[in-house]
Amino acid sequence: MLGEDGRNEAMLGNSSDGAVRVVRGLWPGRNPLWRAVDRVEAMAVAGLAVAFLAGAPVAGLAAGHVVYSIGSRTASAQQAAWHRAPAILLAAVPAAGYDDDQVPASWTAPDGTRHIGPVPAPPGARAGRTVIVWMAADGRLTGTPLQFSQVWGLVVLAAGLAPLAVGVIVLCAGQLAHLALDRRRLASWDADWRATEPLWTGRP
């Protein structure tokens, strides 16, 4: 009797043999029942699979490089041009408000001009309290500049989504090819039936 190891090896051997038979059956020219259109479809599937395997890593690297290049330039420009400055609240914030409540405040721009406008303030802040805001040289509020840690997060996201986009494109291309080849199949079957049907029915 086979031991446990022997049974496991036999099962693995059978499964690998089955996988090999499936692959051989899918390979163009291996299945004697296949027509030319079936071989074309198999070759198209193989080509799309190769395109995905080759294109997905390249797309990920390219997307990551582009996002890093744009993001790093943007972060450097924002951090160099934007400034932090205090703003004095001109009204109180309700205690039950939200962290992004907008209340009127005044601040002085780097060029010395005075500005008044809504700024985010924490709940319960009283009038006269000072909050820190980011602004451009002309005093226009900008928000926090992009950080390099955020740039790397965007790089990782882009590098992960790019292969998915390639996969979607490949799947769409495969589906379109499948639909086109199905039309050819149906037309071929219809022609064969028109040639064979009189032999079965005896009609001319």
Q: Looking at residues 27-42, what average pLDDT do you find? A: 64
- Give residue-wise pLDDT tens across range 118-144: 998 888 889 999 999 999 988 999 989
Confidence of residue 149 (pLDDT cuts 50, 70, 90): very high
Q: Bigger pLDDT: 180 or 36?
A: 180
Percent helix / strand / coil, the chain, rounded to 5: 60, 15, 25
Contact 57, 172 (CB under 8 A): no
Confidence of residue 12 (pLDDT cuts 50, 70, 90): very low
Is the pTM higher than 0.85? The answer reads no
Domain ranges across the chain: 34-81+145-196, 83-143
Provide the percentage of residues in the chain whose pLDDT is more than 90.
42
Q: Which H/E stretch holds residue 65?
A: helix 36-81
